[in-house]
Amino acid sequence: MRKYILYLCITVQALFASCIREDISGNTPESNFESLWKIIDEQYCFLEYKHEEYGLDWDEVHTRYAQRITSDMTWENLYEVLSDMVNELRDGHVNLSSSIGTSQYRAWFDAFPHNFSDSIQSNYLGKDYVNSSGITWSILENNIGYIYCESFSNGIGDGNLDQTLNSLAVCDGLIVDVRDNGGGNLTTAQKLAARFTNERVLVGYMYHKTGPAHDDFSDPKPVYIEPSDGIRWQKPVVVLTNRRAYSATNDFVNSMNQFPNVTLVGDKTGGGSGLPFSSEIPCGWSIRFSASPMLDPEMNHLEFGIDPDVKVDMTSEDIAQGKDTMIETACRVLKGQ
């Protein structure tokens, strides 16, 4: 009997010796810096891709930024240094959130023309536009339907989409404007895209990290858009894009780009093809980062945006006249001019 009790005690001791915990020590500037660097090092999904694209070397980033960390620095200084560090990733999905502020890499849209003005847009919407479950629609003077989707953050109802497309059925073509749509739910974006195909279409691939090493990835798995059971649009479509079409909107544009009756008009999208995850560092600041890349059907990365079929910027002359160059171009494309 003593033997059994001895075995039991040994087992219990072995269990306590094998505690599964994380090695995070303290809440110093150094430990917060190391923790943040490690989260990105192990979980961020574009380190290899961005090394190839613009020479990002995350180990070199550690060396460079470690020199800016001191034990007596203020929280504000630490936030600034850490924000600068994660901005090296050039990713709008990477945000360090604290009580001081939320860091954001903005060059993906700040360095380019805005290409959208809601006051000019109102000239086209007129006074008879309809707001319906997150989308705004109207029929333009030249019998072109116009849908503006400001965000995919909130769901779009199937009934609303049926009603909207039914009302626009008399139009010669349709503009789906996703400019300034910063994203939201992928499922909402895919639900809208499902209204524009009559068959199951491969729209890309998605994969994820399987371990902490930079090249620990799963096999890319195909992503399909299934046609909606509701009313589906059968006429030509133009999707209007600008640099602020980002994240789930980037995914929507990619899906639409695989359909034969769709033309992309406007500026390159902002990208943001990594599904973001969240984590945190010892001081409680939250870090959001890209975790799962999405590819197009040719296995190309979409992280830095999707080029339009017809590149056009809003001209200053048109803006002065209250005209939206991109909507005008879209109408010409749909009219076949």
Partner 1 sequence: MKTLIYIEHRDTKTLRIKNKASVPLRLCVFILIVLTCLPTRIQAQDSLQATRHVMRSVMIGAGHNNTFETYLSPLEYEGPEVRFAYETMRMTRLMDGNVSAQNLFQLHASYTENISQTNHTYGGLVNWNYALHYQFRPAKGLKILFGPMLDLNAGVVYNRRNSNNPAQAKAYGGLGASGMLIYRFRIKNYPLTVRWQANLPLLGVMFSPEFGESYYEIFSLGNGGRNVVFTSLHNNPSLRQLLTLDFPVGNTVMRVGYVCDLQQAKVNNLKSHTYSHDFMIGVVRNLYLFHGKKHMTTPPKITPF
**Which residue has 């009559």 as its token pair?**
198
| Contacts of 12 by beta carbon, 8 Å cutoff, 6+ apart | none
Alpha carbons 205 and 221: distance in angstroms, whole number:
5
Q: Which residue type occupies 173? A: G
Strand partners, 238: 175, 263
4 binds partner 1 per the rule CB under 8 A: yes
> Given the rule CB under 8 A, which of 71-79, 133-141, 144-152, 287-295 is the region that contacts partner 1?
287-295
Contacts of 51 (CB under 8 A, 6+ apart): 57
Site for partner 1 in 150-189 (CB under 8 A): 186-187
147 half-sphere exposure, CB direction, 13 A CA radius: 29
- Which residues, 6+ apart, have CB-to-CB distance to 295 below 8 Å? 204, 205, 206, 207, 220, 273, 301, 302
Binding partner 1 by CB under 8 A: which of 117, 151, 163, 292?
292
201 vs 291 by CB, closer to partner 1: 291
Would you count residue 107 as binding partner 1 (CB under 8 A)? no
Closer of 148 and 205 to partner 1 (Cβ): 205
299 binds partner 1 (CB under 8 A): no
User: b/e per residue, 189-225, with b = 16+ CB within 10 A?
Assistant: bbbbbbbbbeeebebbbbebbeeeebeebeeeeebeb
Nearer to partner 1, 126 or 284 (CB): 284
Q: Which stretch binds partner 1 (CB under 8 A): 148-156, 169-177, 280-288, 320-328?
A: 280-288
DSSP 8-state secondary structure symbol assigned to residue 293: E
218 binds partner 1 (CB under 8 A): yes
Which residues fall within 8 angstroms of residue 77, CB to CB, at 6 or more apart?
A: none
Binders of partner 1 among residues 259 to 278 (CB under 8 A) are 275-278
Residue 322 CB, nearest distance to partner 1 (Å)?
A: 39
108 binds partner 1 (CB under 8 A): no
**CB closer to partner 1 out of 23 and 128:** 23
Residue count, binding to partner 1 (CB under 8 A) = 46
Binding site for partner 1 (CB under 8 A): 1, 4, 8, 11-12, 14-15, 18-22, 24, 27, 35, 38-39, 43, 45, 186-187, 206, 208-212, 216, 218, 221, 223, 275-286, 288, 291-292
